[in-house]
Amino acid sequence: MDLRPIGVFDSGLGGLTVMKELMAQLPYENIIYFGDTARLPYGTRSRETIIKYSMQCIRFLLTQNIKVVVIACNTASSMALDAVREVFDIPIIGVVKPGAAAAVKATRNGRVGIIGTEATVQSGSYARAIASLDSHIQTRSIACSLFVPIVEEGWSDTPIAYLTAERYLGPLKEWGADTLILGCTHYPLLMDTISKVMGPDVILVNPAIGTALEVKRILEQRDMLNKSGQEPEYLYYLSDFSQRFKQIGSRFLNREIEYAGKVDIENY
Phi, psi of 232 (to 5 degrees): -80, 160
Q: Binder to ligand DGL among 8, 22, 57, 73 (CB under 6 A)?
A: 73
Strands (E), 22-174: 31-35, 68-71, 92-93, 111-116, 138-143
Check residue 104 for interaction with ligand DGL (CB under 6 A): no
Q: Which stretch binds ligand DGL (CB under 6 A): 34-42, 55-63, 85-93, 189-197?
A: 34-42
User: How does DSSP classify residue 92?
Assistant: E
Helix (H, G, I), strand (E, B) or coil at 9: strand
For the CB of residue 108, give the shortest distance to ligand DGL in the complex, in Å.
27
For the CB of residue 139, give the shortest distance to ligand DGL in the complex, in Å.
17
Active site residue 73: yes
Q: Binder to ligand DGL among 37, 74, 139, 193 (CB under 6 A)?
A: 74
Q: Which stretch binds ligand DGL (CB under 6 A): 151-159, 181-189, 231-239, 248-256?
A: 181-189
Show contacts with ligand DGL in window 3-22 (CB under 6 A): 10-12, 14
Check residue 42 for interaction with ligand DGL (CB under 6 A): yes
Strand partners, 35: 10, 238
What amino acid is encoded at 75 in this protein? T
For the CB of residue 187, give the shortest distance to ligand DGL in the complex, in Å.
8
Check residue 120 for interaction with ligand DGL (CB under 6 A): yes
Contacts to ligand DGL by CB under 6 A: 10-12, 14, 40-43, 73-75, 116-117, 120, 148, 184-186
Query: Which amino acids are annotated catalytic?
Result: 73, 184
